[in-house]
Amino acid sequence: MKIGLAQLNYMIGDFNGNFEKMKSAIEKGIAANADLLLFSELSVCGYPPRDFLEFHHFINECENVIHKLAAVAGNKIAIIVGAPSKNPTKHGKDLYNSAYFIEDGKVKFLSHKALLPTYDVFDEYRYFEPNKEFNLVEFKGKKLAITVCEDIWDTGETNPLYRINPVAELAKLQPDILINLSASPFNYKQAAKRIDVVRRNAMQFNLPVFYCNCVGAQTELIFDGGSVVMNAKGRVFKELDYFQEEVFFCELEDVEQNEINHELDKNPTKLIHDALVCGVQNYFQKLGFKKAILGLSGGVDSALVLVLAVRALGKENVLSVLMPSQFSTSHSVDDSLRLLENLDSPHKIIPIKEVFDVYDKILQPHFENKPFDVTEENLQARIRGNYLMALSNKFGYILLNTTNKSEAAVGYGTLYGDMCGGLAVLADVYKTQIYEVCNYINKDEEIIPTHILTKAPSAELRPGQKDSDSLPDYDVLDKVLLEYIEHHQGPDEIEQLGFDEKLITRILRMVNRNEFKRHQTPPILRVSPKAFGSGRRLPIVGKYLES
């Protein structure tokens, strides 16, 4: 039996575009004399469709695509397609998250998703009814166990998340092949974890596994692909490329006889880099935008955003704006110009001192002669934000926000200033990780000038300012933030790791007090297991850790 995986980049609600991609894959399958072709979870409508699922018209459009795909496949190839299906009973939610098995141009079998995650970025029980009946489908003399994403993920023997294991239920019926349609969002640990989960299922139930994931970015969520074909011995026959569309075919017999692991490199820094490029590129492509703008400060964050944007959009489509003030150091401009020369990308230089002086003159009588403080610092950031947004409005650029995760966590940024933008590229990347990605970029040649990477970080909003004047050193700060945000460790647990109690209290209070800022940031590209945004839901008003 020849089986194919269609690892494709869908767009939510683009029914015609998604159909054309899937049609092309089916035609490749027919040309390859394949017997069965797999698509990913909710491939017909794109994942995650969220509240679009509440529109009857949206569901009807999904059904129309299913009928069109069935006609294309005809009696030449069988396909398994992800799409919502209507719950025929009056009990429970109106929909199932389903895998459609289509043979001879007809829907022969529906397999519904049983495990509906509600953690992190997922909220599937909001829309779908969980499956409670488990059956196989026979095809070409083989019994197929068809599952959807989360159904294979609850393999933890010591602390299972769910009360039922769908694969274990299906295994009682003695299937020959385990199939999984997935839409599993990327984080820098996901590729390694995915292989482990697939291997656990393959070896525990003695089944070859065909795991088909989607690829591409849907606003803040990024999907890396990495679809897997694995035999019952836990050996990877094929792991499809990360962040690339691919249609792959293989003979089941070859998979079963495979004795070598064919796995891809899972370097987290490379994966973060590639994910961010994919995230920027897809955000612009899918919204129909072509050109980006950003403020280039001479610091490491904006330098990295520029490189990523150039790689995603092309050097001619990214405009950098240098906006020096009276507090800017000469090397900030020089370092930025050197970077721009390396990338051959366009730029403008628009100083802000003249406008700042006018603001200062007008506001001084109303400030009641109070001394220079954070107010004047924020004024500079907001002037820069106004410059960038004015150019964005005039020429149709999308402003890329350059805030990193360390800054976003502790509120080290100015609302309506350096925190404005259409997309926050780095707000899920800690400052220490920023340097790692920059060094990865420079591995073959110096693209980002060395001085940008070695000088002390500074917002340059007052004379001699350094980030360390207001924040703990990033090497320490990021470690505490990681424990609190990603690992959900409280102050006592973090202190047991060797950190100072007063430092912990200070950092955690900063994180909690700045929730209001994070609620007003642009969409954040998610590359970690716990990003700010829809996957981290905390109240703005609260008193936890305040006393």
With beta carbons less than 8 A apart as the criterion, state whether 147 and 169 touch: no
Torsion of CA 366, 372, 377, 383, to 10 degrees: 40
- Beta bridge partner(s), residue 103: 106
Q: Is 425 left (phi over 0), alpha (psi -120 to 50) or beta?
A: alpha
Chain-centroid distance, C-alpha 241: 17
Of 41, 124, 220, 239, catalytic: 41
Which helix (H) or strand (E) element contains residue 30? helix 15-31
Can 41 be counted among the known catalytic residues? yes
Q: Report the interhelical angle of 268-287 vs 300-313 (nearest 10°).
A: 60
Task: DSSP for 82-151, please give it.
Answer: EEEEE--SSSS-SEEEEEEEEETTEEEEEEE------STT--GGGTBPPP-----EEETTEEEEEEEGGG
Can 405 be counted among the known catalytic residues? no
Residue 335: helix, strand or coil by DSSP?
helix
Of 2, 21, 61, 113, catalytic: 113
**CA-CA distance, 511 to 506, in Å (whole number)?**
9
Q: What is the CA radius of gyration of the chain?
A: 26
Of 2, 61, 129, 149, catalytic: 149
| Cβ-based neighbours of 87, under 8 Å, separated by 6 or more | 93, 94, 95, 96, 129
| Cβ-based neighbours of 456, under 8 Å, separated by 6 or more | 466, 467, 468
Task: DSSP for 232-292, please give it.
Answer: TTS-EEEEPPBTS-EEEEEEHHHHHH--S-------HHHHHHHHHHHHHHHHHHHHT---E
Can you give the length of the chain in residues? 547
Can 368 be counted among the known catalytic residues? no
| Cβ-based neighbours of 26, under 8 Å, separated by 6 or more | 37, 69, 72, 73, 77, 79
Q: Which two tokens stand for residue 360?
A: 């200062």
Q: Which of 267, 282, 174 is nearest to 222 (CA)?
A: 282
Q: Which residues are catalytic?
A: 41, 113, 149
